[in-house]
Each structure stands twice: as C-alpha cells, then as structure tokens.
Chains A and B, each alone.
Chain A
Amino acid sequence: MGWSVLVSGLPLIFTFVAFVQLSLVEDAQLTPARFMAPALLAVCALAATWLLQRQLPYYDRVLLPLITLLIGWGLAEVARLAPPVFLLRQTLWMVLGSGALLGAALLPQGLRWLERFRYTWLLLGLFLLGMTFFLGVNPSGAGARLWLGAAGFYFQPSELLKLLMIVFLASYLSQRQAALVEVNVQLHRWRIPHPAYVSPLLFMWGFSIVLLLWQRDLGAAVLFFGVFLAMFYAATGQGIYVLASCILLIGAGAVGYHIFDVVALRVDAWLNPWEEASGRSFQIVQALLAFASGGVFGQGLGQGLPGAIPVVHTDFVFAAVGEEYGLIGTLGLVVAFMLLVSRAFRIALSCQRMFERLLAVGIGALFGLQSLVIMAGTLKMIPLTGVTLPFISYGGSSLLVSMTMVGLLLRLSSHAIALQHSRGEKM
C-alpha cells in the first residue's frame, strides 16, 4: 500500500512542480488560479486509484501512475504553450476522460458489448466521420475540417474511430483467425487467405482509409494502416503481409507525392529541410533548433522559446519538451511510452481469450505507433504526419480516447490475473 501511494504520488508531485515553476517564471509569484488543473488531476488520479483498488483488485499497478505522469506533463505543456482557455478545455476533457477510463475499466458487460456489436460500433464511427464532410469545422479557423463542434467543444471523430477500428479488428480477427490462417487459395506461387474471409476486413478498413484520405487526415490514415498490419500480423503470424504492405505503403506514398500537395510538401520538407528553412520547411527546422537549444538539461520550463515553432502545442509538443526539459526530458518520455507499450503487450500475453488479447495488442500497437510517428516526425527521421503525442499534446478527443483505451487495458489486466488467481486457488 505504501509503495503504491508513493508511485501514485510521484507523477502528481512532478506535475505540481511544473506548475509551480510556470507560475514563478510567468507571474513571478504563486498564482492560486493556476493550480486548478493539477488539483483536478490529483482528484481524478486518486479517485480512480481508490475505485480501481476496490473494484478491480488485480489491475495493473503501473498503468495508472504512468498515464497520470503523461497527462500531468501534458497539462503543464498546454499551460506553457497555449492560451489559458486551452488549458481549461484540456482539463475538462481530462475529467471526462477519467470517467471514460473508469467506465471502460468497470462497466460489467463492457467487453462483451464491444465484441458482439462490432459492425455497429465501426459504422457509428464511420457515420461520425462522415458527418465531418457536411458539418465539419476546424476550431482554429482554417485547415482540414476534422471536428464536430457543439457548445464550444470540438470532437474529432477520427480519434474515436481509431478505438472502434481496433475493437472491430480484434473482434473480427479473433473469430476468423483460424479460417484466415488455414483456408487458403493458391495464387500463382503464393498461398493467400481466402477472399471470403479477408474481404470484409479489407473492405471496412479500406473504406476508413479512403474516408480519412478524403479528409486529408494523413496522420490518422497512417496509424490505421499500421495498427491494421500489427493486429493482422499478431492474429495470423504471417510476416509476409507486413512486408508486402510496407512496400505498398511506400508505393502509395510515391503516388500521394504526385497527387496530394500536402504529401509532397511533407516529403520535400523531410528530405532537405535546410534549403527552405524559412519557407516550406520552417516548422521542422524550428523544431530541430528547439531540440538543439535544449541540449542535455533543457532551458527549464517556461524559459525557452518553443513558441517559435508553429502549432507547437499539438504536433510539435515533443520539440517543446526537448527545448525546456532537454535530452533528460525527451528520453524520459521515450521510456514512459516504452513502458506503456510493454505493459499493453504484457497484458495481451496474459489474456486467454483471443478477442481480449488482440484488443490489448491493438491498443499497445496504436500507442506505440502513434508516439513513434510523431516523435520520429519531429526529429526528421520520417516525413511529418500530424498526429498527437498521446496524453501530452493538446487535443481533447485524443485524450478522451487514449484514456478510454487505458481503461480497457486496466480491465483486461485485472481480468487475466483474476482468472489466473482463481485457477491457482482451484489447483
């Protein structure tokens, strides 16, 4: 008990220290109003810990403190980088997300519903995404209209669609896994899965990708592609598809380079940013300058100049961390995400039922791929695709859905261990 309190407390202390620092740097005094966000975070984290300990005795003890750290860090970055109203919104989304997390972890029939009504969920997600064609807005006024707005709140259906797609794939693949592996057709020299089993999968997935590309939501499309491959590979164990798909992706990228301006821009900016450092590659060059100016120890929160990077609070929050927390901070974030991914996969391996295992794999793969895509993008390792850094970037829908997914992981962890325990007692 003492140990777990300490572990829950450390992320909160980290968050409070960050807000104290911000208050001192920006106001030269401690402003009580600034501490609403970390205080609400503490309430949510402690309440969630208390409820989970009562209701899910065997839940994974690492996940909750881990995401408390990430969310707290994210709130501090939003407070640092964005106007005050953004922090207020993000804090409210965090409270909503805590509810969603607890709901996902504790609702008695939750997993069963998810598994059974897979088409319903996916179609709901696609419907919401389709709505953005007609009612879509962009809260910042210009750019891709990926949000549905009401009463000052904006929701991005593609974020929800990520989770629903994972649920759909986990459900479909777990039912058809045997058929996908064993029923093959001969095509020239290769044996491929039978179209009857693989085509619904490809259809639903392809439809989502097309919708996303239509909406110019490149980042989400890339993630869908990656998560689909990861789950397909986990279910069938056939690496050849992964390889083939990666070749396809590069081919698609080459086609996209010629068709979509945004793709061409991102690829050009990636290949040689220095030539147009003040023009088209301004953002990535400024991000690299931010990383460089952070050095090993960083400038200290509130004391760098990350505001020089356009839209730093969403896509480029990692560069802001790099500038103000230094290499120590960025490596800390990398380790935190590695821990998150490895916990998700550990939970997957401990799950007995195929659906649950694939669900955990999908969530772990999504967290891993999403954080890798944006980290590597801001570091000029791959062309930049605009996705959020989970829990850290400003973005309510992303936070809500990420927290829901952690809720599912928590439930799966308790489920699996409870099963093991009950078996152990019987033996």
Chain B
Amino acid sequence: MTVAVIRLMRALLLSFFVVAGALAYWQVIQAPQLVVRADNPRLVQAERQIQRGRLLDRSGMVLAYSAPEHGPGNVPVFHRHYPETATAHLVGYYSLRYGTGGCEAVFDSILRGKRNRLEELLHRPQRGEDVMLSADLTAMRIADTELGDHIGTFIALDIASGALLAMVSHPSYEPNRLDETWEDLIADPSAPLLNRATQGIYPVGDLARWIGLAGLLSAGITTPSRPSEVSLAVLLAPLSRMGYVATAHQLGFTQTPPIALPASSGRLPSFDGRTTERDLAVTPLHMARFAAAVAGDGQMPVPVLQHSTELAGMERVFSENVAHTLRALTPAYDGIASWIGVALPVETGRASLTWLVGYAPATHPQVAFALVLEDEENRSAAMSIARRTMAALLP
C-alpha cells in the first residue's frame, strides 16, 4: 500500500511538471505570436491608453485632440475629437476600427509618441507630441462654407514656402462619427472619403491652353501676341503632341506630387482620336503647383504639411522669362490672377466641370490655388469661392 501511495504522489507531482512545461510554452515560446493576434483585446486597450498629441493649425487653433474617458481602474482611456468639420480631409481620422487617414496617418508616429523599455515596464502613460500644421483654419472654414453643396475642391499653397494653406474637398464626412457611418461612406457613389484635392483626377480642358503656352515658351517657339484669341488647335499646332507630353512631364503632371498624403499622378491622353490635349487629366494639387511655378518665377514648390520656418524644396520647371511671360498673359480681376476653363470628361460622359487656377495678389504673388467644381459649368461660383477664400489667406 505504501508503494501505491508513493506512486500516486509521484504521478500527481509529475503532472504538475507537465503543466509547468505548458506554462512555459504559452507564456514564453508562443507568446510573441499570440499577443499580436488581431483578436487580442489588449492591443485596442493599449491603443486607447495612448494620449495622442494634438493637431493644430498654423496659429495654434486645435484641429484634433484626445480627451480622457473613464477607463477600467484609474487608467484613463482617450477618445479622439475633431472640433472642425472643415478640416476632415486634411486632418483625416483616427479610428480603432478603421485605422488612420490624412495627417493623422502622416504624423502618426509623432502623435503617438514612444515609450522606452523602462516606461513600458512601469506602465507609464504613453503620450505623443502636438503637430502644428501649415494650414490656416480660418481660410479653410471659409472655403468649406463657400463650397457648400457644390461637389468640388479647393487647395491653396504658399508660393515661397510650399506650405499647404487650405485644402477642402466636398462632399465631406463627419470625422467624429466615422465608425458609425463608415459603411455608408464607403458605399456612397459620391465618394465622400476621397480627398479630391490630391486624389481627384480631372481633365484640364480649356486649361490645356496654359500648359501648351508653357511648352511653347520653354521651347522658344514664337507665340501669337494675343493667345487667348486663337483657337486651342491653332495655338498648339507648333507644339507637337510629343512636345505637349514633354511639357506635362516637365510640369510633374505624370508623377504623384511629392506630398505625404495619399495623392494620384496625372494621366496622359491616349490621342486615339477621341482624346486630345484637353484630356490630359491631373489633380488640383498638380495645377496649384503649376500656378505657384508661374507666380514664383519658374520655381515649383514641394508642398509642406507641417508648419515650419524652413525654406521649401524648390524645383525649377521653366525659366524666369517663361514665368514672366505667362504672368503677363494671365488675366487678373480683383487682385486675383487666374485661368478659368471648363472641361468635359470623355470617358465618363458626365457633365462638364469648371477649373479655376491662379495666384494672388496678382502683382506680388504669395498664394497659389486651384479649384474644381465637378459636374457643373459655373464660372461665377468658382470666382466667388476663390475670391472670398483668398481674401482670408492674404494679409
């Protein structure tokens, strides 16, 4: 009997050793693979405990902030708030379910902050830093109000620094209710989540004239003294299609603009008989940079999202003389020099759209802008939106 009791005890104790082995397996060997599983609620919890930095506009107005909510224990969890709806596409969103977008994604690592090993071990709260954007909230509010129910977009760049001053895209979305409305937003045919300023590709239409002029002048070909009075075909005749395409390359239209936000490259026309120079399609950001180059003596600025005093990266796209001539040809009205035109998207066969691209003040240019109104030919609305918004951007 003693033997049986001792055997029984040994069997039980041995089983405990097996349990200890299983503990080591799950807590040490398998742990790294397990903790990163998407269904680990600790990931979300850890994310919610991060006090994300704020996003501010160029004058310190708050565009996004994290406010504490009562969490389990006295460890606060944070909720992201967006006081301004006008900045939805620029600021983007931060969602535990759908990730990040806009500047929330671009500056994610700064906003989240970092903890070192010791701070992690001590469960110190993770706190990110604020990011000051180059954008001007006042101008964006006005652009947002002025765009109103129009489908379209407005973008403005500082010519000298490349600072992105305003960027509004309509239709927009409510970033504070993103999780609840996501499914609808995704399904909406008007694509409210699309940032039309950098991702919307629109045919240049009448503005092909200005691209062609830039090409003609750069190539040293004599242009009519009053180019607005000749037809586009006649104007562009000396510049072969090859020359037009080369100009589009030169102006960066065939590349994705150097910006950290999601952006599209332009699209060259196929010249297959149905498409012409008018069907070169670019984003409003491409056009705003073109206008900035014209206003800035041929120097095309690299767009900057973050407010800084550093000089922008510049890229020479044509000579000072070309810029000078183009400026002389650009009509000015109310201190705003601009090119206006309509385009008819071939592929979609939709209604025409209105472009307004320019810079202001006309005499000493500081801000370049581009505006598109989709599905409508409405020059006066475009002019009025640009005029009111530019008034807020200029001193």
Nearest CB on B from A366, distance (A): 11
Nearest CB on A from B125, distance (A): 12
Of B8, B18, B22, chain A has the most CB atoms within 10 Å of the CB of: B8
Q: Mark A260-295, 1 if CB is under 8 A from B, else 0.
A: 000000000000000001100000011011011111
Nearest CB on B from A340, distance (A): 10
| One of B34-42, B152-160, B230-238, B276-284 contacting the partner | B34-42
Partner of A345, one of B1, B9, B73, B121: B9
Query: Is A288's CB under 8 angstroms from B20's CB?
Result: no
Query: Is B73's CB under 8 angstroms from A234's CB?
Result: no
Interface: B242 (CB within 8 A): no
Interface: A305 (CB within 8 A): yes
Interface: B118 (CB within 8 A): no
Partner of B8, one of A292, A295, A302, A345: A345
Q: Which of B18-51 contact A (CB under 8 A)?
A: 18-20, 22-24, 26-28, 30-31, 34-35, 37, 39-42, 45
Query: Is A234's CB under 8 angstroms from B12's CB?
Result: no
Q: Which of A213-235 contact B (CB under 8 A)?
A: 230, 233-235
In the bound assembly, the distance between CA atoms of A338 and B16 in angstroms comes to 7
Say yes or no: A330-B13 contact (C-beta < 8 A), given A234-B4, A288-B34, A296-B28: no
Interface residue SS majority, chain B: helix
Tell me which residues across on chain A come within 8 A of B35, comparing CB atoms.
Answer: 289, 292-293
Nearest CB on A from B44, distance (A): 9
In the bound assembly, the distance between CA atoms of A380 and B3 in angstroms comes to 32
Closest to A296 in B: B28
Closest to B40 in A: A289
Partner of A337, one of B16, B26, B31, B39: B16
Interface: B225 (CB within 8 A): no
Tell me which residues across on chain A come within 8 A of B45, comparing CB atoms.
Answer: 305
| One of A23-31, A131-139, A193-201, A410-418 contacting the partner | A23-31
Interface: A106 (CB within 8 A): no
Tell me which residues across on chain B come within 8 A of A338, comparing CB atoms.
Answer: 13, 16
Say yes or no: A278-B39 contact (C-beta < 8 A), given A303-B123, A337-B16, A379-B22: yes
Interface: A364 (CB within 8 A): yes
Partner of B5, one of A322, A345, A372: A345
Closest to B34 in A: A292
Interface: B74 (CB within 8 A): yes
Q: Which of A358-391 contact B (CB under 8 A)?
A: 361, 364-365, 368-369, 372, 375-376, 379-381
In the bound assembly, the distance between CA atoms of A279 and B60 in angstroms comes to 48
Tell me which residues across on chain B come within 8 A of A289, comparing CB atoms.
Answer: 34-35, 37, 39-42
Q: Mark B38-68, 1 if CB is under 8 A from A, else 0.
A: 0111100100000000000000000000000
Query: Is B1's CB under 8 angstroms from A237's CB?
Result: yes
Query: Is B23's CB under 8 angstroms from A302's CB?
Result: no
In the bound assembly, the distance between CA atoms of A89 and B9 in angstroms comes to 34
Tell me which residues across on chain A come within 8 A of B8, comparing CB atoms.
Answer: 230, 233-234, 345, 361, 365
Interface: B15 (CB within 8 A): yes
Partner of B27, one of A236, A326, A357, A380: A326
Say yes or no: A381-B19 contact (C-beta < 8 A), given A25-B74, A341-B12: yes
Tell me which residues across on chain B come within 8 A of A12, comparing CB atoms.
Answer: none
Query: Is B16's CB under 8 angstroms from A293's CB?
Result: no
Nearest CB on A from B306, distance (A): 35
Query: Is B74's CB under 8 angstroms from A379's CB?
Result: no
In the bound assembly, the distance between CA atoms of A307 and B42 in angstroms comes to 10
Interface: B2 (CB within 8 A): yes
Nearest CB on B from A230, distance (A): 6
Query: Is A327's CB under 8 angstroms from B23's CB?
Result: yes
In the bound assembly, the distance between CA atoms of A294 and B9 in angstroms comes to 30
Closest to B2 in A: A349
Closest to B74 in A: A28
Query: Is A322's CB under 8 angstroms from B22's CB?
Result: no
Q: Mark A76-119, 1 if CB is under 8 A from B, else 0.
A: 00000000000000000000000000000000000000000000
Q: Mark A292-330, 1 if CB is under 8 A from B, else 0.
A: 111111011011110110000000000000100011001
Nearest CB on A from B118, distance (A): 13
Nearest CB on B from A111, distance (A): 19
Say yes or no: A234-B31 contact (C-beta < 8 A), given A26-B73, A308-B41, A338-B16: no
Closest to B23 in A: A330
Closest to A278 in B: B39
Query: Is B1's CB under 8 angstroms from A376's CB?
Result: no
Partner of A291, one of B26, B41, B75: B26
Query: Is B39's CB under 8 angstroms from A234's CB?
Result: no
Closest to A233 in B: B4
Say yes or no: A375-B19 contact (C-beta < 8 A), given A288-B26, A305-B45: yes
Nearest CB on A from B51, distance (A): 17
Tell me which residues across on chain B come within 8 A of A230, comparing CB atoms.
Answer: 8
In the bound assembly, the distance between CA atoms of A233 and B2 in angstroms comes to 11
In the bound assembly, the distance between CA atoms of A234 and B28 in angstroms comes to 37
Query: Is B23's CB under 8 angstroms from A372's CB?
Result: no
A-B contact pairs, 23 of them (CB 8 A): A25-B73, A28-B74, A234-B4, A277-B39, A291-B23, A291-B26, A292-B31, A305-B45, A305-B72, A326-B27, A327-B27, A327-B28, A330-B23, A330-B27, A334-B20, A342-B13, A349-B2, A357-B1, A364-B9, A368-B15, A372-B12, A372-B19, A376-B19
A-B pairs, 9 with minimum CB distance: A292-B34, A345-B9, A368-B12, A292-B31, A237-B4, A26-B73, A327-B27, A379-B22, A308-B41
